[in-house]
Chain A
Amino acid sequence: MNKIMDKRIGIAVLVILSIIFPLLFDNKYIIHVMSLAFIYIIAIYGMNLLAGFTGYLSLAHAGFFAIGAYSLGVFTTKYEMTFWVSFVAAIVFTTVVGAIIGLIALRTKEHFFAIYTLIVGYLIYLLIDKWDVMTGGVRGLIGIPVPTAIGPIEFKSGLSMYYLILFFLLLSTLLITRIVHSLTGRTFIAIRNSEELAQTIGINTMTNKLVSFIISIFFAALAGALYASFVRFLGPDIANLPMVFDFLMYLIVGGLGTLSGPIVGTLLIVWLSQFLQGLQEYRMLLFGPILTLIVIFYPAGIVGAYRTIKMKLKHKKDLDNNNPVDKKVSNTNHEQSQIKEG
């Protein structure tokens, strides 16, 4: 009980911090970077649901992020639809495309799925790059409008965009948490742990995998649409390989299959990259080995490592006290956190 209270307070503090963040750092640049990081976190949440909880690593995620961004761009600039209509249309369109691709991609398993999605992602990049008439090709797409005002709230300043993005981030976090803790989420974890076993106990794995895939694409699309309306310029590079790997890195460093992992990983790497600005092009010299080492030694990322260390300390303390009652409590705690980790 105490633990739940702690967690709630922690989350409340984080939310309040993110709300007053612009007041603490009254600097346009910092707010800009933070908004961008928030957008990525939304996309990473989608990726995490599929890779971390269902066990299917999709390397087409940046591709879908780009489809979401580009469809918003194309709807608003080429078809001159109003902003919020395009926003919803972009997400729906991307999710439908994702559902169709998922239907095909999910027939493959493990390695084949990763390779297939890698190639689909690259196909999306090539399409965006070559389809000049629609996407502007290498020159990119410019002139995407800012979100139109909702009632009295306008989105012309960076600050108002920050709050808009924060709103969607909080919504996404809430949604993902609900999904993961629901029966559907548990089903995903069952599939990740053993697909055969899940099938044996009567889970329709194909349907569940598809649901997971579609939700994952939905978040990529949402993030993409937000990105387009925030940056207001799109180039084909957002669908290219380095973007996928950036996403993957945010996720792995934070913690694959954990709820706070995407936030920790993305914020850490985004800010670290800012400090190492001079290294921008060579940052992978540092991050590549980090990624590899984390996968070898801490497969569940920073969040996972933190949990393991905490659990070990607790276990040690209990052993020192040698108190049977405490031990029992700690055991159930142990089990609970294991379930949470999945």
Chain B
Amino acid sequence: MEHFIQQLVNGITLGSVYILMGIGLTLVFGILHIPNFAHGALYMLGGYVTLMMMTSVGVHYLIALVVSIFVVGFIAVLMERAVFHPLRKAPPIHDKIAAIGMMLFFEAFVLLVWGTEYQRMPTPYGNSIKIDAITITAQRILIIAVSIIVVALLYWFLKKTMIGASIIAMAQNREGAYLVGINANMVAMMTFFISGALAAIAAGLASPINLVFPAMGHLVIMKAFIIVIIGGMGSIPGAIFGGFLLGITESLGATYISSDYKDLIAFFLLVVIMTWKPTGLFAKGAH
């Protein structure tokens, strides 16, 4: 039983990271209709910026995290301005290819600057805490806590502020949003900033328990896509549900089925769901 709960907690930790990634992806898709294949690259950049702030500049982990939020958020805004904005009227195949192009560029860039080595990110929260028979590292608790806070803040931002309301308005009805004078450029940049910031937070939090390396975004982006599809593209509650479902399934699957095949379980889950419902479980309308 303890073993089961231990794995459940691990699954929730994993799920929290996926949720942060998934929400960023789902926001950009729901509002701008762009499946951002370069989102994994933002995650990877987040990992590297945090790590470099800590090792080269020598600031505290949390400060490095904040810096990386702004750096990656800014890169995401730049991405929108330079690439997705000019492509907004192009056929849907083009922005996918452009995103892939950017992803390749960022990966090669990181490879050139920091090399292929896997790097460990030190964390001040490495000590473990014992609750009954379960041991959790403080880092895992931090991941879960920060994710909950960030999601709650985002929710508050979208529901209670004017900028948030205009983002929601654009997601619901683009033409209507233009008619009431919402600045589409501002909303697009804001959305990309949030999505980049969330990816940076996810990377900064997850790197101490994983590692930092150029291809670190690959698996995460795939899984983020999976949870976003499970939850229905564009739905935040869907992404939260999908994240926990995937994290827990993966964690339990690794223990009770086979750790070699844990990644396959996630992909298999998606193939089954897509086969059964091609638009995802919680899709609203046609996107």
Q: Is A145 in the interface zone, CB < 8 Å from B?
A: no
**Which chain A residue shows the least CB distance to B90?**
A299
Contact A123 B268 (CB under 8 A): yes
Q: Which residues of B contact A283 (CB under 8 A)?
A: 108
Contact A104 B274 (CB under 8 A): yes
Contact B108 A282 (CB under 8 A): yes
Q: Encode B83-103 as 1/0 by CB contact (under 8 A) with A.
A: 100110011111011101111
The tally of residues in B whose CB lies under 8 Å from a CB in A reads 46
Contact B108 A256 (CB under 8 A): no
Contact A291 B104 (CB under 8 A): yes
Q: Is A75 in the interface zone, CB < 8 Å from B?
A: no
In Å, the complex CA distance between A283 and B263 comes to 29
* Chain B nearest Cβ from A337, distance in angstroms: 20
Contact A123 B278 (CB under 8 A): no
In Å, the complex CA distance between A287 and B106 comes to 11
In Å, the complex CA distance between A123 and B219 comes to 11
Interface centre among B91, B97, B229 (most CB of A within 10 A): B97
Contact A292 B105 (CB under 8 A): yes
**Which chain A residue shows the least CB distance to B106?**
A288
In Å, the complex CA distance between A118 and B37 comes to 10
**Which chain B residue shows the least CB distance to A56?**
B93
Partner of A292, one of B98, B111, B225, B279: B98
Partner of B222, one of A119, A281, A289: A119
In Å, the complex CA distance between A285 and B90 comes to 24
**B residues 98-138 with Cβ under 8 Å of A?**
98, 100-109, 111-112, 116
Contact B35 A111 (CB under 8 A): yes
Q: Which residues of A contact B270 (CB under 8 A)?
A: 119
Q: Which residues of B contact A69 (CB under 8 A)?
A: none
Partner of A107, one of B97, B100, B106, B278: B278
Interface centre among B91, B96, B263 (most CB of A within 10 A): B96
Partner of B98, one of A120, A287, A295: A295
Contact A296 B86 (CB under 8 A): yes
Contact B111 A245 (CB under 8 A): no
* Chain B nearest Cβ from A340, distance in angstroms: 18
**A residues 114-153 with Cβ under 8 Å of B?**
114-116, 118-120, 122-123, 126-127, 130
Report if A289-B264 is in contact (Cβ < 8 Å); known contacts: A118-B225, A281-B111. Answer: no
Q: Which residues of A contact B86 (CB under 8 A)?
A: 296
Q: List 16 A-B contacts (CB under 8 A).
A: A104-B275, A115-B229, A120-B271, A122-B222, A123-B268, A245-B104, A281-B116, A282-B112, A288-B101, A288-B104, A292-B101, A292-B102, A295-B87, A295-B101, A296-B87, A296-B98
A interface vs B, CB < 8 Å?
51, 55, 57, 104, 107-112, 114-116, 118-120, 122-123, 126-127, 130, 241, 245, 248, 252, 256, 281-285, 287-292, 295-296, 299
Q: A104-B275, A282-B108 are in contact. List 14 more A-B contacts (CB 8 A).
A: A57-B93, A107-B275, A111-B96, A114-B96, A115-B225, A119-B226, A122-B222, A288-B101, A288-B102, A288-B105, A289-B105, A292-B97, A295-B94, A295-B101
